[in-house]
Amino acid sequence: MQAAIQTIPLRNRESAADVSGSTANLLQAKIMMVDDEPITMEVVQTFLEDSGYRQFVLVDDPCKALRILEEQRPDLLLLDLKMPEISGFEILQRLRADDRFRHLPVLILSSSSDNADKLQALDLGATDLLSKPVDPSELQLRVRNTLAAKAYQDQLAFYDPLTKLPNRYLFLERLEWALKRAKRHNDVLALLSIELDQFDKISDTLGLIAGDEMLRQLGQRIAGLVRGADLSGFFGTGEDSAANLFHFDGGVFALILRGLRRERDAARAAQQLLETIRQPLQISQTEIYVTASIGISTFPTERVKNIEMLQLASGARGYVKNRGGNAFKFSSRQINTKYQRRINLEARLRKALERDELVLHYQPKLDVAANTITGVEALLRWHIPERGLVPPCQFIPIAEETGLIGPIGEWVLTTACRQQEAWRQAGHPTLDMAVNLSPAQFQNGDLLAAFRKIIAKSGINPRRLILEVTEGVLMEDVDVKIDAMNRLRELGVRLAIDDFGTGYSSLSYLLRLPLDELKIDRSFFVNLFEDAKSRALVSALIHLARNLNLRTVAEGVETEKQLEYLQKEGCDLYQGFLFSPALPSEELSQLLPSGD
């Protein structure tokens, strides 16, 4: 027999035991039913849905009941007594012998009118009984009362009365469950152990009541941050993404972050926590400043058991505290190093503009038929004195994430326009200048105004300027992008779609974009002669572009043979190492014919 599992997952559902007393909260309860007759469960579910319950797990194969119970962690179990293979009695017995389910409320649904059965069920620890066929009102009342009793018990056992946050018992259960799921689904999980640096000192000097007040206020403040949208940017799109905050004894809190996009995003959460905690507190007319030490352990880097994960995070926290607190640290040296490297690079990048470390190199674009230079593409390089050239793939993503791409992009355009003007004056008036636009720049509303100003100031002919936008970028919010592109084009510049063929554009979509040039991605040329499909695609793209009145550019041409092929197919332009990589402006000038 198949186990029918139906659950309606709720995003950010706090915890199975977080079903606190209010009616609205009770309706969040997850109700599991085990019965060999699916129809009975459907009827019961319908009745309960009428009362407002929304989360159900239906299991019609009793042999799977325990496994599913462990996975789903319901708040209430409705259990049939008479089932083939394994009876309700046996399930109940096993539940009560298991520490994790000892206190799970179990309502027995039984058609048996035999008193002995009922007594036995109660003796084995059933919470209450209901006879089949169930009466809807009785069912609804018993379910509500059972859940309310459980909520009260849970509140006492699992919640800290001061901060109203779940305590360390619930934490351990929660962590075990979260870690198991993360392992099964290969999700990224982080555990943050947070300690208030001055808790003991403040309790000692201002008294216990002030200490309690401080915990209450900070607990609320941190919970607000965790609940708020501020942390949401760190999560992936998985159903299981959530943040759960716990309060241990004294000034110690723990935060579990499930379904993160990357392990290092836990650092951003830690940073926000530190900032939130640092805001002054008002306690009995005194302004108090508190800081925290945070240790972070993460999965998958640390493949350990739940309790070890806590130890790792606490260890890292202790290290931070011993060095003065008000900071965070990962338990994994590997992640610390990675994170540190990235932070250093980010800090350096912030200074790169003012230190004049950015340079543009220019790669020639050539006419395929005549093999003459018709223009150049400006490619950004970052020159760190002690490290040498850093390629854009290493720092453009950082610039995009930090918003530095705004000023950097404007610098690129200004420099490229200035260079073009210099070449014009040196006798190359028809040389095209291509500049790359990043998706993040594209989203910036001021882009247009800034670009208009830069172009006007430079004195260049805007027709000689080509802005390249990567295909993938254009795929999202198509209408907004088309609108932005149209407005850019009104400045008189030309637009190119870059890396074409990698972003899965549909052809009808290509027709709608205001484009002048199509750049066929380098990847198609790598195996051009080994792979008939690449050839077919390149040839089809060239013909398509021609019919759409677009100029085609082949990217990454490295061999004569590739060039011959492009000549045969009638591709307009090419760029690639065959003729030249991107070069500093002075070197590129050497390649230009004297007096164009």
Footprint of ligand C2E (CB under 6 A): 363, 379-380, 391-393, 396, 412, 436-438, 468, 470, 498-499, 522, 555-558, 575-577, 581-582
Q: Please, what is the minimum distance in Å from the beta carbon of residue 24 to ligand C2E?
A: 49
Q: Which is nearer to ligand C2E, 198 or 580 (CB)?
A: 580
Sign of CA dihedral 537, 538, 539, 544: positive
Specify the residue, 69 or 518, whose C-beta has the smaller distance to ligand C2E. Answer: 518
Min dist. Cβ of residue 579 to ligand C2E (A): 9
CB of 471 to Mg ion, least distance (A): 9
Among candidate residues 467, 405, 470, the one with its CA nearest the CA of residue 433: 467
Using CB under 5 A as the criterion, which residues of the chain lie in contact with Mg ion when the complex forms?
A: 436, 468, 498-499, 555
Q: Helix 199-206 crosses helix 208-227 at what angle (to 10 degrees)?
A: 140
Q: Rounded to the nearest whole angstrom, what is the least distance from the CB of residue 309 to ligand C2E in the complex? A: 38
Residue 425's identity, in one-letter code, is Q
Query: Which of the listed partners (Mg ion, ligand C2E, none) does 380 bind, with a CB threshold of 5 to 8 Å by partner kind?
Result: ligand C2E
Output 468 or 572, the one with its CB closest to Mg ion.
468
State the sign of the Cα–Cα–Cα–Cα dihedral 271, 272, 277, 280: positive
* 441 burial via Cβ count (<10 Å: 0-12, 13-18, 19+): buried
Instruction: Tell me the closest approach of the beta carbon of residue 445 to Mg ion, in angstroms.
Output: 23
Instruction: Decide which of Mg ion, ligand C2E, none touches 240; Cβ closer than 5 to 8 Å per partner kind.
Output: none
Q: Which of Mg ion, ligand C2E, none binds 223 (CB below 5-8 Å, type-dependent)?
A: none
Packed helices 405-425 and 392-402: angle between N→C axes, nearest 10 degrees: 130
- Our CB check for ligand C2E shows the closer of 412 and 563 to be 412
The residue among 499 and 517 lying less far from Mg ion, judged by its C-beta, is 499
CB nearer to ligand C2E: pick between 14 and 555: 555
Q: Report what 438 binds from ligand C2E, Mg ion, none; CB cut-off 5-8 Å by kind.
A: ligand C2E
CB of 492 to Mg ion, least distance (A): 20
Cα 575 from chain centre: 36
Q: Residue 524 in contact with residue 537, Cβ under 8 Å?
A: yes
Closer CB to Mg ion, 160 or 499, in the complex: 499
28 binds, among Mg ion, ligand C2E, none (CB under 5 to 8 A by kind): none
Q: Rounded CA gap, 179 and 253, in Å?
A: 18
Q: Which helix (H) or strand (E) holds 487?
A: helix 478-489
Q: Are strands 76-80 and 106-110 parallel, antiparallel or unpaired?
A: parallel
Report in angstroms the alpha-carbon separations of 371 from 320, 397, 428, 560, 575: 62, 34, 17, 12, 10
Is there a cis peptide before residue 133, judged by omega within 30 degrees of 0? yes
Ramachandran region, residue 356 (left: φ > 0; alpha: ψ -120 to 50; beta: rest)? left
For residue 11, give both structure tokens: 């995003």
Q: How many CA atoms within 13 Å lie on the side-chain side of 363?
A: 21
What is the nearest approach in angstroms of ligand C2E to the Cβ of residue 371? 15
At its nearest, how many Å lie between ligand C2E and the CB of residue 556? 4
Shortest Å, Cβ 381 to ligand C2E:
7
Which two structure tokens, joined as six digits, stand for 251? 């000034």
Return the SS3 of 229. helix
The owner of tokens 């302004």 is 287
Query: What does the alpha-carbon distance between residue 561 and residue 570 come to, in Å, rounded to a whole number?
Result: 14
DSSP letter (8 states) at residue 242:
E
- Of 88 and 364, nearer to ligand C2E (C-beta) is 364
C-beta of 187 vs 555, nearer to ligand C2E: 555
Closer residue to Mg ion in complex, CB, 144/381: 381
Rounded Cα distance, 195 and 193, in Å: 7
Nearer to ligand C2E, 134 or 573 (CB): 573
At its nearest, how many Å lie between ligand C2E and the CB of residue 567? 17
Return the one option of ligand C2E, Mg ion, none that residue 379 interacts with (CB less than 5 to 8 A, by type). ligand C2E
* Contact status, residue 61 vs residue 3, Cβ threshold 8 Å: yes
Total length of the chain:
596
CA 232, 236, 239, 242 torsion-angle sign: negative
Contact 80, 58 (CB under 8 A): no
For ligand C2E, the closer of residues 202 and 366 by Cβ is 366
CB of 558 to ligand C2E, least distance (A): 5
Q: At 373, which helix (H) or strand (E)?
A: strand 373-384
In whole angstroms, the minimum distance from the beta carbon of 511 to ligand C2E comes to 23
- Identify which of 203, 197, 187 has the alpha carbon closest to the alpha carbon of residue 253: 197
Let me know the angle formed at the C-alpha of 539 by 537 and 541, rounded to the nearest 5 degrees: 65
